[in-house]
A and B are shown apart, each in its own frame.
Chain A
């Protein structure tokens, strides 16, 4: 059971570079989301999707883009990396049933210099 798979696990970028964080789930979950976790800030929602072709902004969407062309994949794009985007990023998915929990990936640790 792969669950939610995130790649890469670690990444170092220079300011201004772009990159895509990959997220894939094999549980046929409709709902997928991206969070960032910073010390003392808990989890903050970046973007989410309730199904293929549908995305919406969360609490901190600026500087990030997402798309959802398939049920399985939900990539997060950093358009022009900034040091403020240094963080640990988590992808999570869930069925669209109100009492279902989120299933998390193991995270991507991103450093922007």
Chain B
């Protein structure tokens, strides 16, 4: 079945460092791919999405590119801030549209 594998955390970075959180997936067909962010005590918020191969999703300085050939959707940001400290989830929606699959989440802490 479909699945999402996400880089284990926790990740600790200094402010202005470069961030990469790896995400790979297994799916039949052409799923849609998402990154969500969860701040402490809150629900998950959509950060960005990509719905077809080679699409790049971007938001708030974060980017991820849908790579069909490597079945990956890695999250990147060039310069992290303390306010980016949160848990990040990679997710896919299968092509038929009825099911979502989530990675286990990666906790990011950014220190000043």
Contact = CB atoms under 8 A, between A and B. Distances in A.
B32 A99 contact: yes
Interface centre among B34, B36, B95, B102 (most CB of A within 10 A): B102
Interface size class of A (residues with CB under 8 A): 20 to 34
Contacts of A4: 43
| Most chain B CB inside 10 Å of its own CB: which residue of A94, A101, A107 | A101
A15 interface: no
Contacts of A74: none
B51 A42 contact: no
> Range of interface residues on chain B?
20 to 34
Q: Which of B36, B51, B98, B100 has the most CB of A within 10 A?
A: B100
A54 to B, nearest CB: 11
Contacts of A105: 43
Contact of B100 (A50, A96, A102): A102
B14 interface: no
Interface in B16-38: 32, 34, 36
Question: Which 10 residue pairs across A and B have the least CB separation, nearest first?
Answer: A42-B104, A98-B97, A104-B43, A99-B51, A99-B32, A104-B44, A106-B43, A101-B46, A43-B102, A101-B34
Interface of B: 32, 34, 36, 42-46, 49, 51, 89, 91, 93-98, 100, 102-105
